[in-house]
Amino acid sequence: LVAVLPESTECSSWRVIPIRIDMDQRTRSGVVTIVNDSDDPLSFSVEAREWTQDINGNDQYTETADILYFPKNLIVGPRSERIIRAGIKVPAVSTEKTYRLFIKQEADPDRRSATAVAIVIRFGVPIFSKPLKETFSGEITQSLVTHGMLTLSIKNNGNTHFRIQTVKLAGTDPNGVSVWSHELSGAYLLAGTERVFTTELPDGVCSQTNALAIEVVADRVQLNGQIDVDKAMC
């Protein structure tokens, strides 16, 4: 949802506006609004977590005291809205700091029953604290085809995040004729981290492919690469 919707996101009968908070040396706080579009009051709990990524680009969340936020629990009345305020104690200097403010809808105890299934919805608002000077840099560190499987690694060499919107793949035969095209879903890539993408070339496509063009479409960088494919890779 964060990657698709630019300003707000809908979770069942409630919305969050905006879907991210940006901070820097001058702007050390932000506001998130929860909008209740239903005819019933809704209860929420709020929790801040530091946001990092492991060596495979998977998101990791840990407890943090860096973010101050209020309230931590709230009720939003029918067809109404309430705000959550968040601020950072010490802003980023050399490398961007990243967090998420998790907003979770709590099940209404008065509406529970022995046979009902409670669906808990949680949305994580990204919080980005920009460094004094942002640098945007990325590279394709690995691209290979083995046994018909494509492995692609993308690294963020900058000091702030960028968001991969999509990874476009285009295979051509020895005559330059298109034989295959495919797109991989993107994701946030935090500063200094690397994400691995894999996908299988369909049966019959790999043996026809002579070259595989790679285009990484991101909001702050543009990366391109190519793999020369031979039948031994299939």
pLDDT at 2: 40
Mean pLDDT of the chain: 91
Residues in the chain with pLDDT values less than 50: 1-6
C-alpha to C-alpha distances, 174 to 29, 100, 213, nearest whole angstrom: 56, 47, 13
pLDDT at 4: 36
pLDDT at 56: 84
Question: Cα separation of 57 and 61, whole Å?
Answer: 13
pLDDT at 12: 65
Question: Cα separation of 81 and 177, whole Å?
Answer: 55
pLDDT at 162: 97
pLDDT at 6: 44
For the CA atoms of 100, 101, 104, 105, what is the dihedral angle to 10 degrees?
-140
pLDDT at 29: 96
